Amino acid sequence: MSKYELAVVVSANIEDDKRAEVMNKVKALIERFGGQVTNVDEWGKKKLAYEIEKQSEGFYYFVSFESEATAPAEIESRIRIFDGVIRYLCVKQDEA
């Protein structure tokens, strides 16, 4: 199993409970495809480098997880349609 990090930017326009619900769905999605969440790092509300969907701020989350090599593609294809997620990026972490 390889280590990955998923960066998720959630809309600042949704309520706190909806934002928590979005992150619970993200964690459940990782586990659904055989991944194991090792850490969730919440950076809070930050200003975006440029406007996305007419928004200038978003909540940043970094989810570290371990999974098989096929899981990140499946996760990205499904996270794309989540309400409230305005950007995401999954990268493989070095084994150093």
Nearest to 65 by CA among 96, 87, 32: 32
| Count of all residues that appear for the chain in the document | 96
Instruction: Please give the angle made by the CA atoms of 63, 78 and 47, to the nearest 5 degrees.
Output: 50
Confidence of residue 1 (pLDDT cuts 50, 70, 90): confident
Identify the domain containing residue 84 by its residue range: 2-92
How many domains would you assign to the chain? 1
- Tell me the one-letter amino acid at 20: A
**What is the per-residue pLDDT for 96?**
60
Q: What is the mean predicted confidence (pLDDT) over 60-76? A: 92
What is the per-residue pLDDT for 94? 80
Residue 26 has a pLDDT of 92
Q: Which pLDDT tens digit goes with each residue over 17-63?
A: 999 999 999 999 999 998 999 999 999 999 999 999 899 999 999 99
> If we measure between CA atoms, which residue out of 87, 88, 86, 89 comes closest to residue 14?
86
Q: Provide φ and ψ at 14, rounded to 5°.
A: -100, 160
